[in-house]
Structure 1
Amino acid sequence: MLRRALLRGALLILAVAVVFVIWDRYGPRESAPDMAPAVEQVDHILIEKSARRMSATADGKVVFEAEIALGFKPGGDKQMEGDGKTPEGHFKINRRNPQSAFHLSLGLDYPHPEDIARAKAQGIDPGGDIFIHGQPNGLSVLTLPGDWTAGCIAVSNAEMETLWRLAPIGTPVEIRP
């Protein structure tokens, strides 16, 4: 009798957890935060891969800092789709996705024409869809440890909401080794 009650209790807890994860991942999302006034927006984002740090500046003054997670094999520059590397170089934010599979996302203009030409010469796909984003939807109460993305730059959801407000399309992004 006790065993049956424990099994029912465990099944109930499991069912509630499954419903929570499904709701968190696929349920209605809050609207994205509004952009900050132009005078508060950043004009440069610096990502330092080896330090796992991002900083954003306005008129040369740091106004935002965050610890970051990178691709699952972050050493070196991105060469091809699936290599787990985060690209290095100078990019710009070229799109904003409030309906991302991750909590908000800011797209980078990778690959550049030279990346495409290099990859084509080697007969490989340079990859793409590199974003700065929050945590995976469905895990909104967690911040995943370590480097876990496919090549993107990840921050906590709260940090992503701040960056979302501060970084308009066209913001330069420098990614250093």
Structure 2
Amino acid sequence: MYVRRKLTNKGNRHMQIIRLVVAMALVALVAACAGGSKFKTYNGPEVTQVVVNKGARKMYLLHNGQVLKDYKIALGWMPKGGKRFQGDGKTPEGMYFIDRRNPNSKFHLSIGISYPNANDVAFAKASGLSPGGDIFIHGNSRGWRRKDWTWGCIAVTDSEIEDIYAMVKDGTPIMINP
């Protein structure tokens, strides 16, 4: 009886381990199938331009002048006027390009804007100041609820930046209007 019970207990432990491994594999499979990745694919029309209207707090993704998607946005904490200097809390105004992407952004995902351009650098240099840089379109992983809260970036929700990251390619022009 003692030997049989000992073998049965070993068999039960073995079955528990197998069940645990199978359960963990199923959880991993379900997570993979649920689309848990922040990297999406996009097979629609090419985004040929991004337009930002700061006053309306809207950003538009365009294909040859036709709006594909539009988004509510948050801007720099001092939204009026174009960015002139590092730390001024303003979002730039003018023509720029999408020039880089950051898959490891503190704000979920981000795509870079080519600020400062030559005019921005010259203006800041004439004033003896730095124009700043690192201006991005990014997510809002931190859950900020204020209307305008960035240091000059353009913020959307995390779900929206996943779509934008897939749709907008490096080299795409971005026009930021007052």
Coarse TM-score class (shorter-chain normalised): 0.7 to 0.9
Match of 1:173 in 2: 174
Q: Is residue 69 of structure 1 aligned with residue 74 of structure 2?
A: yes
Q: Is residue 36 of structure 1 aligned with residue 37 of structure 2?
A: no
Match of 1:152 in 2: 153
Q: When the two structures are aligned, how many residues end up with a matched partner? A: 143
Q: Is residue 135 of structure 1 aligned with residue 136 of structure 2?
A: no
Q: Distance in 1 between matches of 2:54 and 2:163?
A: 20
TM-score (norm 2): 0.76
Q: Distance in 1 between matches of 2:37 and 2:108?
A: 11
Question: Do 1:94 and 1:106's aligned partners in 2 also have CA atoms closer than 8 Å?
Answer: yes
The one-letter code of the counterpart of 2:59 is: M
CA offsets per residue over residues 141-165 of structure 1, 9 Å max, x none?
x363310000000001111111111
CA offsets per residue over residues 42-89 of structure 1, 9 Å max, x none?
111110000000011112221111100000001001110000000000
Question: Do 2:99 and 2:111's aligned partners in 1 also have CA atoms closer than 8 Å?
Answer: yes
- In the TM superposition, what are the counterparts of 1:48-127 in structure 2 within 5 Å? 48-127=53-132
Ranked by relative contact order (alpha carbons within 8 Å, sequence separation 6 or more), the top structure is 1
- Secondary structure (helix, strand or coil) at the match of 1:56 reads strand
TM-score (norm 1): 0.76
- Secondary structure (helix, strand or coil) at the match of 1:40 reads coil
Question: Do 2:40 and 2:163's aligned partners in 1 also have CA atoms closer than 8 Å?
Answer: no
Q: Distance in 2 between matches of 1:68 and 1:34?
A: 21
Match of 1:25 in 2: none
Q: Distance in 1 between matches of 2:134 and 2:77?
A: 15
Match of 2:4 in 1: none
How much identity, in percent, do the aligned residues show? 46
The one-letter code of the counterpart of 1:160 is: I
RMSD between superposed Cα atoms in Å: 1.5
Question: Do 1:32 and 1:98's aligned partners in 2 also have CA atoms closer than 8 Å?
Answer: no
1:41, CA displacement in angstroms? 2.6
1:35, CA displacement in angstroms? 4.3
Question: Do 2:77 and 2:151's aligned partners in 1 also have CA atoms closer than 8 Å?
Answer: yes
Larger Rg: 2
Question: Do 1:53 and 1:66's aligned partners in 2 also have CA atoms closer than 8 Å?
Answer: yes
Structure 1: gaps of 5 or more residues: 1-29
Q: Distance in 1 between matches of 2:161 and 2:86?
A: 25
1:120, CA displacement in angstroms? 1.0
The one-letter code of the counterpart of 1:97 is: N
Structure 2: gaps of 5 or more residues: 1-35
The one-letter code of the counterpart of 2:135 is: I
Match of 1:24 in 2: none
Q: Distance in 1 between matches of 2:90 and 2:101?
A: 22
